[in-house]
Amino acid sequence: MTVTLVLGGARSGKSRHAESLCTGNRHYVATAQAFDDEMQARIARHREDRGAAWVTHETPLGLIETLREIDGPDRIILVDCLTLWLSNVMLAEQDWRGLGDVLAALLPAMQADVVLVSNEVGMGIVPETSLGRAFRDAQGVLNQRVAEVAHKVVFVAAGLPLVLKG
C-alpha cells in the first residue's frame, strides 16, 4: 500500500499526472459538486476523459466513509480532489481539522494504493475576504498533514512533475 499526494495549481496538469499513476482495478473518488453549468461541463469532461475503465464514487462530503467502504487489496483509489472536499466541508461548517486528522490517520492503514490530488493555493495573491484567507490557510494545513503521511509527494507545474518526497 502506498499513498501519493499530487499537488499543483489550477490547470497545472496535476489530475492528468495523478491518473497516469493509476493502473489495474481503478476507483475514482470525485469530490466536486456541480453548482453551475461550467462545473457541470468540467465534471462531464473529466468523466469522458477517464472512460469506462474507472469505477466512480461521487462524494462531496463523505470522503472518509467512501475510502473505508471501497478499500481493498489490489485496488488503486484516486481522490480528486482534496481542495473541493475541504471547501465542501468548510461550507457545511464541519470540523475540517478533525476530519483532516481522521483522513491522515486512515491513509496509512488502507490496503489499497491511494493517490490524492490537491491544489497548492498559498502561492498567489492574499485573498481579500476572511473566508478566502481561512480557506487558504486550511488548505495549507491539510496539504501538510497528508504530505506527512504520504510515501510520495509530487508537485506538478506546467504539466511537469517534480518529486518532493519519495
How does DSSP classify residue 110? -
Q: List the grid coordinates of 53.
A: 475503465
Contact 64, 99 (CB under 8 A): yes
Contact 120, 8 (CB under 8 A): yes
Contact 165, 153 (CB under 8 A): yes
Sequence-ordered strand ranges (E) for the chain: 3-8, 26-30, 54-58, 76-80, 113-119, 152-157, 160-165
Q: Is 17 a catalytic residue?
A: no
- Compute the distance between CA of residue 24 and CA of residue 5 in angstroms, rounded to an integer: 19
Query: Which is catalytic among the residues 17, 46, 57, 151?
Result: 46
Residues identified as active-site? 46
